[in-house]
Amino acid sequence: MALTDDKIAQLTKKAAEIRRSTIESLIEAKSGHTAGSLGMADIFTYLYFHKLKHDPKNPSWSYRDRLVLSNGHICPGLYATLAHAGYFPVSELKTLRKFGSHLQGHPHREYLKGLETSSGPLGSGLSQTVGMALADRIDNGKSSGKQFYCLMSDGELNEGNTWEGAMLAGKERLQNITAIIDRNNIQIDGFTEDIMPLNPLVDKWRAWNWHVQEINGHDFRDIDRAIEEAQSVFDKPSVIIAYTIPSKGIPDFERKFEWHGKPPGTPEEIEIALKAVRTWGGRVKSPNDSDK
Amino acid sequence: MSINPDQKLNHKLFDKTMEVASMRRGFGDGLVQAGAADKNVVALCADLTESLHMQDFKTKYANRFIEIGVAEQNLVTVASGMAAMGKIPFAGSYAVFSPGRNWEQIRTTICLNNVPVKIVGSHVGVSVGPDGASHQALEDIAIMRALPNMVVLSPCDSIEARKATIAAAKNGKPTYIRLTRDKTPVITSDHTPFEIGKAAIVFKSAQSKFDIGIIATGHLLYRAMLAAKLLEKDGKSVIVMNLATIKPLDEHAIIRLAQETGAIVTVEEHQITGGMGSAVAECLVKNYAVPIEFIGVKDQFGQSGTSEELLAHYGMTEKDIYAAAHKVMLRK
């Protein structure tokens, strides 16, 4: 499906709605992870509103593409996307992290239809994606129509389990895997290159026999071109290193690792955040703005 | 002889001609049978294919076998992904590494996801022998039975290992099967009943009142039966139970045994802390409290030696079971 200018305009609008829902649910929950949830909003939007083969009314449709969220802590972004895509009512987002909610603090597959795996503990999603692709190849050979996506954070690449999965995918030449790394350069204790350097990251993945691309994770054309290329590569799994801005959409919070694991809390922070997401990153006037 | 005829045990039991056989071989045979019965059965191994006797499955069903390399975290997480697609994966390694090294991956990606992966851990207990403490899994029952959704199986011999494997392929649940390295006495026969969740009375003295009940799991069941014979020589009446399923626990059978005997000895090749005996004690304290003695490893690591030397050193022979039985009867 071609990505037309009209479609890009639609996706841009949808991503803004998803950012707004994400931050509103985080404020209501009073805990949860802001930076990555907002940073990956454009990629979530692109996947669920343009690329994925899926059916929100039939989440267990067996021919669907599989999307594994390995960095489960950014689930507020995924939940908002699933709600806007029609998996459940948007109004339910305000139950995030509350007792009895489908929207558990970290994704729990048995609580919400539309999640492929339970996650939160880092580093295990890629291997599960590899297992899914292997199982599919046993049944359907290399000509399966399904795609297997794994979303990962850069911080979770510290986990050895990730590289065990990468090694096996390269060995098995699992061409229908597309891994996307949220390369936002932050983790809980600081900047990734200070905590545990990942660079040269492209070389690491190439060494495990992966096809590697680097993109701007907020540019729908860039995302689309990279996914199309990833899926045209034969006999190799693909990884897309998506450079993103943590907390993208709230200029005052962007690029600050302090926002990795908390929502806006003080009245001032809440006002700044809501104003930014409700005015599309400040590009349109807030209803509260004076006309001066 | 007080052997329970309903169990159709090996008729050569206690005879000089009694066979010994490998539980790993039983698992390997069961895996091939399970694979023949259901094309969704797949197998994964972490560089121990021959040792785990997964070679036959690999040869017969090459496209359903995944060699993972020495990477136990990957072993179970890949298996989880395969199960999410409808497969029934058997993931084999040594128990110290799987479910030892990869416990959190099993917790999150198998038990929390609630997918039917079968973790097969060999080389449990000090009877691993010369390899020494690092390779002797003594904590696997404790860490597996603490996990919600997990079924824990501990077969007593090669034949039961085969049946446990075939049954696990059909139970639709996360399941752990623990296996011994050495060849062990063949206690059961092809005709012995096996059902996950059911304890079996294998030995029962002819009396109508009983002095002592012994609950054993794994190959030490044979030692428990030898101890029962020694106790009978002292005029004691004994019931011996094979507890091959540690979770879910057959509470009904255990409570009944406590009611019939009034004193229990539990026998396992595992740390006493958190093991099968602990599970039995949790059940009885709540339902029908009787004195219990625990045979197992007492908060120690093992060491190198022959399996016989080590079982004697750590107090898990028939003599130790016999002594524990006398001790617990005094507490009645």
Residue A132 near residue A66, CB atoms below 8 Å: yes
Q: Which residues from B are below 8 Å from A121, CB to CB?
A: 104-105, 108
Between 3.40.50.720, 3.30.450.40, 3.40.50.970, 3.30.450.20, what CATH number should domain B20-185 receive? 3.40.50.970
Q: What integer is the mean pLDDT of B314-330?
A: 98
Residue A204 near residue A210, CB atoms below 8 Å: no
Return the SS3 of B211.
Answer: coil
Helix (H) or strand (E) holding B266: strand B264-271
* Spatial distance between the Cα atoms of A85 and A83, rounded to a whole number of angstroms: 5
Sorted by sequence, the CB contacts under 8 Å of residue B184 that are 6+ apart come out as B20, B21, B22, B23, B156, B157, B158, B219, B222
What CATH superfamily is the domain A5-278?
Answer: Thiamin diphosphate (ThDP)-binding fold, Pyr/PP domains (3.40.50.970)
- Is the confidence at residue B45, as pLDDT, over 70? yes
B18 touches chain A (CB under 8 A): no
Structure tokens at B198: 């059911």
Q: CA A12, A72, A251: angle at the middle one, nearest 5?
A: 40
- Is the confidence at residue B64, as pLDDT, over 70? yes
Q: Do domains B5-13+194-330 and B20-185 have the same CATH topology?
A: yes
* pLDDT tens digits along A159-213: 999 999 999 999 999 999 999 999 999 999 999 999 999 999 999 999 999 999 9
3-state SS track over B157-171? CHHHHHHHHHHHHHC
B110 touches chain A (CB under 8 A): no
CA-to-CA dists, residue B278 to B35, B155, B296, angstroms: 35, 18, 11
Fold assignment, B5-13+194-330: Rossmann fold (3.40.50)
pLDDT number for residue A290: 53
Selecting among B19, B50, B67, B72, the annotated active-site residue is B72
Sorted by sequence, the CB contacts under 8 Å of residue B62 that are 6+ apart come out as none
- Residue A128: which of B42, B84, B114 has the nearest Cβ? B84
Does the beta-carbon distance from B113 to A118 stay under 8 Å?
Answer: yes
Measured between its terminal Cα atoms, the distance across chain A in Å is 45
pLDDT number for residue A292: 41
CA-to-CA dists, residue A226 to A66, A205, B78, angstroms: 18, 16, 26
* Spatial distance between the Cα atoms of B227 and B315, rounded to a whole number of angstroms: 13
* Spatial distance between the Cα atoms of B90 and B61, rounded to a whole number of angstroms: 13
Question: B323 CA to chain A: closest CA distance, Å?
Answer: 47
Does the beta-carbon distance from A124 to B77 stay under 8 Å?
Answer: yes
- Whether omega before A263 lies within 30 degrees of 0, making that bond cis, reads no
* pLDDT tens digits along B145-201: 999 999 999 999 999 999 999 999 999 999 999 999 999 999 999 999 999 999 999
- Is the confidence at residue A142, as pLDDT, over 90? no
Residue B114 near residue B177, CB atoms below 8 Å: no
Q: What is the ipTM of this complex?
A: 0.94
Q: B246: number of CA atoms within 13 Å, CB side?
A: 33
Q: What integer is the mean pLDDT of B36-43?
A: 98
* Spatial distance between the Cα atoms of B291 and B226, rounded to a whole number of angstroms: 22
- Residue A138: which of B64, B74, B77 has the nearest Cβ? B64
B160 as an active site residue: the answer is no
Q: What is the DSSP letter of B3?
A: B
How many secondary structure helices (H) and strands (E) does chain B include?
11, 14
**Domain boundaries of chain B, sorted by first residue:** 5-13+194-330, 20-185
* Spatial distance between the Cα atoms of B131 and A3, rounded to a whole number of angstroms: 61
A-B CB pairs within 8 A amount to 102
Does the beta-carbon distance from B73 to A167 stay under 8 Å?
Answer: no
Length of chain A: 292
The sign of the CA dihedral B152, B156, B157, B160 is negative
pTM of the model: 0.95
